[in-house]
A and B are shown apart, each in its own frame.
Chain A
Amino acid sequence: MNYAYSVHMAVLKVDSEIGAVAVERYLVAFDVGRAVNPRPIKGQIVRGFAQGLGGALMEEFLYDAHGELLSVTFADFLMPTASDVPTIDVLITEDAPSPCNPLGIKGAGEASITGVGAAIASAIDDAISEPGAVMQLPVTRKRLKKFFAADSQERLASVTLLNGPDERRLSQKVDSVPIAT
């Protein structure tokens, strides 16, 4: 048994007047044990982020009162396109190779998806200064709008979500990457 793990950091802007989120910077740091070929690993992480972003902000199966699926085409089930996905920073680490195989390799995909929802949700909580405000993904405009009254300021959030076993060590790694917070 071995664990691949990742760290997600989101810097985003919440436009509280219209209830919109713009992800400004994003970092995925991922310990893959051993990066045999880093380029496709990076590609996989970037694409994993895009999938995670879809789940965080857009993708949702909606049903009507009779249980009929409403999100039946890609005009109703919205996925992020290149216009929605920011360029992200990727940090591939090899700190904890797997002892279970001769190369020391571990998973290098899923954990780039799974942290995104939590990182985005936490960053939104931080931006609107309401810890625990976001309880449901995707954070659509409709849901986000509920958190605002007549407030129309733009607030900047920077938040770190640590999604791995060794918080201290991972955050040190992150420090070595130039990321504006």
Chain B
Amino acid sequence: MTSFDLVEPRSLEEAFRYLDPSDPAIRPFGGGTALMLMIKAQMYKPQRLVSLGRLGGRFSGISFDANACRIGAMTRFATLEHSPEIAARLPVITEAMKTLANVRVRNVATVGGNLGHADPHLDLPPIWLVLDAKVTVVNRGGERVLPVADIFSGYYETTLGNDELIAEVEVPVRQGWRSKYVKVTTRATHDWPALGLAISVQIDGHLIKDLRIVLSAAVDFPRRLLGAEAVLRGAAIDEPLLQRAGEAAAEEADMESDSRGTGDYKRHLLRAHLRRAVLALAAE
């Protein structure tokens, strides 16, 4: 491991002085759990890491109003995990924490670093997508707000400039919607998922009024399964419907073979888990 500078700016102005739009050896530093692995594996050789730990302000804390939850980018996973408000109003996040990494990682990994890493296997991004969350990104010129989905542009690739910072995530809290995330591991519980499946539904008895379905891990970046959504939207749940939705999902998802399963097996898993998840949500 080669040496590098770690700076800890206390204001955004100071942070932007350290960041550089064009030098990839300078990066923002959240919890460092992803960066440190890449540094140790010599995949990344930084010259300067700009810690966001002392920025405070909108980068930190969780707050709720009537219709939304705001989560600062420097919020640690452990904070999300133990927040009673998150458990009450966005329980899908609390549930996901049960099988996300381990207590040491959750104590330091941050919401912003998780998005900035853009590894398609991560558990939170599909959940943000299915909840229709937005991020606020700050840069020298000001800020922009975009849907979480628009951060990702490829496998470990984002649309963020090298000197842009994710400041906060805003998650709508919608009455009458229920969500579920299924981390489909095929080898061991702590393995990276073969696929991640997030579903949010507005359901009335057996009638699906509206829904969102997001697939992750088996694809380059999390994406909605619009075909399967269209099959299910406005329909009453029964076996043939779930079969058709599964077929639509398997058809639209382009999944490659890897050590966690062949493309065919992943399509099979997608059909099976989509069906089970919809039934589970309907039974809740």
Residues of A within 8 A of B (CB): 17-18, 20, 58, 62, 70, 75-76, 78-81, 83-84, 140-142, 145, 152
Interface string of B247-284 (1 = CB under 8 A from A): 00000000000010110010011001100000000000
Determine whether the beta carbon of B189 is less than 8 Å from that of A141.
Answer: no
Determine whether the beta carbon of B272 is less than 8 Å from that of A17.
Answer: yes
Determine whether the beta carbon of B99 is less than 8 Å from that of A75.
Answer: no
Given A18-B268, A18-B272, CB of A81 within 8 Å of CB of B188: yes
What is the bound-complex CA distance between A145 and B267, given in angstroms? Answer: 14
New A-B pairs, 6, CB < 8 Å, besides A84-B189, A152-B272: A20-B186, A70-B259, A78-B187, A81-B188, A83-B190, A142-B261
Q: Does B143 contact A (CB under 8 A)?
A: no
Residue of B whose beta carbon sits closest to that of A71? B259
Determine whether the beta carbon of A83 is less than 8 Å from that of B191.
Answer: no
Q: Which of B99, B189, B265 contacts A142 (CB 8 A)?
A: B265
Determine whether the beta carbon of B265 is less than 8 Å from that of A81.
Answer: no
What is the bound-complex CA distance between A70 and B258, given in angstroms? Answer: 12
Q: Which of B99, B188, B269 contacts A18 (CB 8 A)?
A: B269
Q: Which of A17, A81, A141, A152 contacts B190 (CB 8 A)?
A: A81
| Shortest 5 CB-CB contacts between residues of A and residues of B | A83-B189, A78-B188, A78-B187, A141-B186, A81-B190
Q: Within 8 Å CB of A76, what residues of B? A: 259
Determine whether the beta carbon of A58 is less than 8 Å from that of B187.
Answer: yes
Determine whether the beta carbon of B192 is less than 8 Å from that of A75.
Answer: yes
What is the bound-complex CA distance between A35 and B75, given in angstroms? Answer: 51
Given A17-B272, A75-B192, CB of A140 within 8 Å of CB of B265: no
User: Within the complex, what minimum Cβ distance (angstroms) separates B255 from chain A?
Assistant: 15
Q: Within 8 Å CB of B268, what residues of A? A: 18
Q: Within 8 Å CB of A17, what residues of B? A: 272
Q: Within 8 Å CB of B272, what residues of A? A: 17-18, 152
Q: Within 8 Å CB of A140, what residues of B? A: 186-187
**Which residues of B (131-189) have their CB < 8 Å from a CB of A?**
186-189
User: Within the complex, what minimum Cβ distance (angstroms) separates A84 from chain B?
Assistant: 5
Interface residues on B, range: 10 to 19
23 contacts between A and B (CB under 8 A): A18-B268, A18-B273, A58-B187, A70-B259, A75-B191, A75-B192, A76-B259, A78-B187, A78-B188, A78-B191, A80-B188, A81-B188, A81-B190, A83-B190, A140-B187, A141-B186, A141-B187, A141-B261, A141-B265, A142-B261, A142-B265, A145-B265, A152-B272
Q: Within 8 Å CB of A83, what residues of B? A: 99, 189-190
What is the bound-complex CA distance between A141 and B272, given in angstroms? Answer: 14
What is the bound-complex CA distance between A76 and B273, given in angstroms? Answer: 24
Interface centre among A20, A79, A142 (most CB of B within 10 A): A142
Q: Within 8 Å CB of A18, what residues of B? A: 268-269, 272-273
Residue of A whose beta carbon sits closest to that of B264? A145
What is the bound-complex CA distance between A78 and B273, given in angstroms? Answer: 23
What is the bound-complex CA distance between A75 and B119, given in angstroms? Answer: 15
What is the bound-complex CA distance between A18 and B261, given in angstroms? Answer: 11
What is the bound-complex CA distance between A140 and B265, given in angstroms? Answer: 13
What is the bound-complex CA distance between A75 and B185, given in angstroms? Answer: 12
Q: Within 8 Å CB of B99, what residues of A? A: 83
Residue of A whose beta carbon sits closest to that of B194? A141
Q: Within 8 Å CB of B269, what residues of A? A: 18
Q: Within 8 Å CB of A75, what residues of B? A: 191-192
User: Within the complex, what minimum Cβ distance (angstroms) separates A23 from chain B?
Assistant: 13
What is the bound-complex CA distance between A71 and B190, given in angstroms? Answer: 16
User: Within the complex, what minimum Cβ distance (angstroms) separates A160 from chain B?
Assistant: 27
User: Within the complex, what minimum Cβ distance (angstroms) separates B38 from chain A?
Assistant: 14
Q: Within 8 Å CB of A81, what residues of B? A: 188-190
User: Within the complex, what minimum Cβ distance (angstroms) separates A5 from chain B?
Assistant: 30
Residue of B whose beta carbon sits closest to that of A58? B188
User: Within the complex, what minimum Cβ distance (angstroms) separates A13 from chain B?
Assistant: 15
Q: Within 8 Å CB of B273, what residues of A? A: 18
Q: Within 8 Å CB of B188, what residues of A? A: 58, 78-81, 84
What is the bound-complex CA distance between A30 and B261, given in angstroms? Answer: 37
What is the bound-complex CA distance between A127 and B265, given in angstroms? Answer: 21
